[in-house]
Amino acid sequence: MKKSELEQIFSSFNNKKVLIVGDAMIDAYMWGNIERMSPEAPVPVVDINKLESRLGGAANCALNVKSLGANPILCTVVGNDNNGVKFEELMKESSLSTEGMLVCSDRKTTVKTRVISEGKQQLRLDEEDKHPIIIEKQFLNNFKELLNNTDVIILQDYNKGVLTKKIISEVILIAKNKGIPTIVDPKNDNFLEYKGVDIFKPNLKEIKDGMKIEFDEKNDSELEKATSDLRKKLSAKGILLTLSERGICINSEEGFVHTPAYGGSVIDVSGAGDTVISVASLLLSEGVNFENISKISSLSGGIVCQKVGVVPINREELLTESIKIF
């Protein structure tokens, strides 16, 4: 791709509307020091000196889409609780629309709290309800109202109950009828429900668990077979498989391509998966071919993994680095 072509593609992101449908949450962090053991049990005592709450799950995807210059609308469900109020505040602080956010009284807002000391995570506490949402009809009606002028739909599944089988099938059907491309970040429970999507983006663990198969991920012919089998099962146009430090491969109607990780970075940790799907969705909406989607997405994951913590991708940095590899 020429420099001018890349610049045109990246500038087109400004005009894109992206609907993100799925499970959102709060990522909370407690930082502190360990200087003694508890007299009550053989566990360390962490003296907390810093607390932080960030948008997580599908909401982190929205942050990445916004950072790329596009307009994200998050369709999700939170609980009628203090954490739901906190989630809405975090959305507004980030200048993200809350029009796709519904409140449901039968569930908690998902919060993952990490206790960090001595440079590593000591403990994680999860507050959540995983049962399917009971407001499917209201959710779908709200989704339909927000659909006008949408360029691409991201379905982001964390097995927390927003993406029920009915919502998955309805969203994909509506998108197909309107000619809107769809891209999925799956989890195990509904792994094979996403039939007919444009891009399906599992990681290695997800494809092995979801397909109930084992294969040698260091062998490209085995990677090609596994992704081909999955593509046929889902009738998907492309399977974008993240391979940790080995990069990304894509299996599509255009063929199979394995793109190494740029800089040797691991590309599906610390929110990098959210970055990859955000970048891929915008490239897909612009009609970029699958091989180039794979290359630029792999690069984006490598860039954010070089940062400390969960950081949205910077569009100008991604453009500069993309020009170097083409």
CATH no. for residue 216? Answer: 3.40.1190.20
Three-state SS for 85-99 is: HHHHHHHHHCCCECC
Q: What is the pLDDT of residues 78-112, one digit of tens each?
A: 999 999 999 999 999 999 999 999 999 999 999 99
- Residue 273 domain boundaries: 3-24+56-108+129-325
* Residue 185 annotated to the active site: no
Residue 114 and residue 29 in contact, taking contact as beta carbons nearer than 8 Å: yes
Q: Among all chains, which residue has been given the structure tokens 């360029």?
A: 151
Please tell me which residue in 23, 27, 185, 274 is annotated as part of the active site.
274
Mean pLDDT value across residues 34-43: 96
122 is a domain residue: no
Structural domain contains residue 33: no
In a domain, 42, yes or no: no
Read off the pLDDT of each residue in 26-42 and give the average, rounded to a whole number. 95
Rounded CA separation 300/276 (Å): 6
Beta bridge partners of 57: 24
The alpha carbons of the chain give a radius of gyration, in whole angstroms, of 20
Q: Which residue has the tokens 């290695």?
A: 204
Q: Is the pLDDT of residue 268 over 80?
A: no
- Answer whether residue 20 is part of any domain: yes
- Residue 264, pLDDT score: 53
Identify whether 31 is part of a domain: no
Domains contained in the chain, number: 1
Query: Can you tell me the mean pLDDT for 262-267?
Result: 60
pTM higher than 0.85, yes or no? yes
Q: Can you give the pLDDT at residue 308?
A: 63
Q: Residue 242: is its pLDDT beyond 80? A: yes
69 versus 306: the higher-pLDDT residue is 69
* 117 in any annotated domain: no
287 in a domain, yes or no? yes
Is residue 20 over pLDDT 80? yes
Looking at residue 251, what DSSP letter applies?
Answer: E
Residue 30 lies in a domain: no
CA distance 79 to 91: 15
Contact 38, 44 (CB under 8 A): yes
Share the mean pLDDT of the chain.
94
